[in-house]
Amino acid sequence: MSEYTADNIRVLKGLEGVRMRPAMYVQGGTGVDGYHQLLTEIIDNAIDEALAGFATTVQVSLLPDGSARVRDDGRGIPVDVMEDEGRPALEVIFTELHAGGKFDSNAYKVSGGLHGVGSSVVNALSTFLEAEVVKDGTRYKLRFDEGAVTHPVEAVGSAPKKEHGSTVTFQPDASIFKDVDGFEYDRIRRRLRELAFLTGGVKIELEDLRYDEPKRETFLERGGVAAYADALAGGSARLYDAPVHLAATTVVEQDGVEHEVEVEVGLVHTSSYGQEIVAYANMITNRDGGTHQTGFKTAYTRVLNQYAKTKKLVKQGDVQPTGEDFLEGIHCVISVKLGDPQFESQAKVKLLNPEAQTAVARVVGDKLGEHLEEHPKVGKVIIEKAAQAAKAREAAKKARELVRRANPLDNDELPGKLADCSSGDPSVSEIYIVEGDSAGGSAKQGRERRFQAILPLRGKILNVERAQMNKVLQNAEIRAMIGAIGAGIEGTGGERQFDLEAVRYHRIIIMTDADVDGSHIRTLLLTFFYRFMRPLIDEGYLFIAQPPLYGIREGRKKDLLYLFDDEALETYHREHKGKSYEVQRFKGLGEMNPEQLWETTMNPETRVLKRVTVEDALEASEVFEMLMGSEVPPRRAFIEDNAHVAELDV
């Protein structure tokens, strides 16, 4: 055995630990998520200045050398020497893990970054970082290389008295983020647009200077979360003229301590059947909601129940609406700002503060009641919509009972057309949802039975974006998917919710033909999963298979070379002129024999799968509403803007 002595013990100084174990400090590790998290940390610091009332503009620039720059016109990071440290505060903030103004309630009442590790971690994981501060008529600069100070804080010139703020420029270290190609404009754009809604009045500028033609956008949303809710509703028909805006700051006593909580809620109801509630605490997305969302639902249901009873808007003998019925067709944004947010995990997906629940319930209870009294049409159409939802829920319940009575063996059991796998371990099991019986037959013969299940679908499934719940549950293909996956669905009026723990396969793979019909079926399936099984997407369980479009047989060779798109075929043509080869076009999965389907699309060693992700609820909602909703003009405009001339696939 090798000796284990004091010589084997190593103490990591300063930021060494961050560079050695970045995944401990950055959500997303050294992948593309972690890479962008660095920029998010610096942006959040600038936004915190705006939240505190000291900054009006935040500018984000993507620079030609791969670095990023964030500038704000706030107070400017302190540059004076900290007595305990003997160094300027500007240097300490970027070199000490737990240093920052977020720990001093006098500096920041509300902040997203409460752990004080943001700026220093960004510095540790960057090739270089430069900070420039303008305060009191003087311009200061500081530079780090790989986390170490190379140019200490120094005054580099004067500045106009009215000028103030901070600028941070950094370049993520390519030796740490090895497999990342650079900042993604669309990803950054989505976050900045979201922040513009949540800050309501702060101007956020984004510029991309990496190409010959610079790209610039400005986000300024004075409508706040009400405008955000309206944007979430996309092209769906509104039930009333303007979104509802509920806002107030309230003081809540919790365990003998007074907490000041700022509450802002925006909501709009549409003719759609789903519900969309997005919750934030200090502008951090809480994917799983939390106490603020619970507070909203409790007060919202109470107020509407009371309003319906007082105004006698639900007929005696009719099905009484539940809380879920009142939420049908809602698009809602809840934003709270509080001093010390507590989250369920480091990922901050769920807020835990009990004072947030009390505050939201109080504000919504007071303000929504006032709004309905002042706008009786709004209350009337919401109650009418809920009453219709209640009737549909009752019809759906009867439809389910009818299915149970007609064929009790099929109830909540595996559908007959499913060819299941032998493994009982969901973590290694996968199911292919296949277009058509022909392709389903090939897939069943070519699969690896130990862990691959096959569920063939006949034709195009129902467009759930336009259908009520009872119609959704009557669709045979949808019932087959629900039964095979085994976890129920969301949006069933509270009677049955989606249970992620009961999912039978951790890879659910949509496999459709590589043609127009296949694309349509894939979109219908994605709409269903997004609206009724959203946790599958959030957990990364949903995939799209990539079958080849062409097979190339060179000369007399028996084996085929597979190409996945037209661009690959054109490249092959260019590279193989005078040479003899034969091109086979696969119009459908059913044209492949079982061996070909396994080799190209199902073999884990050689296949290509695309994981379905929802980066942003706003963009996802807009796309699904536009493509699959009841409003024709937005869809027509999209087709006109994006259509390309192509050969008809007949």
Catalytic residue annotation: 435, 513, 515, 517
What are the helix (H) ranges across 447-564? 469-474, 476-485, 516-532, 534-538
> For the chain, how are helix, strand and coil distributed in percent, rounded to 5?
40, 20, 40
Q: CB-based contacts of 369: which residues, under 8 Å, 6+ apart? A: 303, 306, 307
Q: Is 594 helix (H, G, I), strand (E, B) or coil?
A: helix
- Nearest to residue 490, comparing CAs of 532, 544, 525? 532
Specify whether the CB–CB gap between 35 and 46 falls below 8 A.
no
3-state secondary structure of 135: strand
Sign of CA dihedral 194, 197, 199, 202: positive
Tokens of 561: 């070379």
How far apart, in whole angstroms, are the C-alpha atoms of residue 60 and residue 72?
A: 9
The first and second tokens of residue 9, run together, are: 């013990």
Backbone dihedral region for residue 313 (phi beyond 0: left; psi -120 to 50: alpha; all else: beta): alpha
User: What's at 361, amino acid-wise?
Assistant: A
Question: In this structure, how many other beta carbons lie within 10 angstroms of the beta carbon of residue 613?
Answer: 11
Tokens standing for residue 126? 């960057």
Alpha carbons 174 and 580: distance in angstroms, whole number: 44
- The whole-angstrom separation of Cα 233 and Cα 276 is 9
| Residue 281 three-state SS | strand
Report the DSSP pairing between strands 138-145 and 330-337: unpaired
Q: What are 362's two structure tokens? A: 């109080």
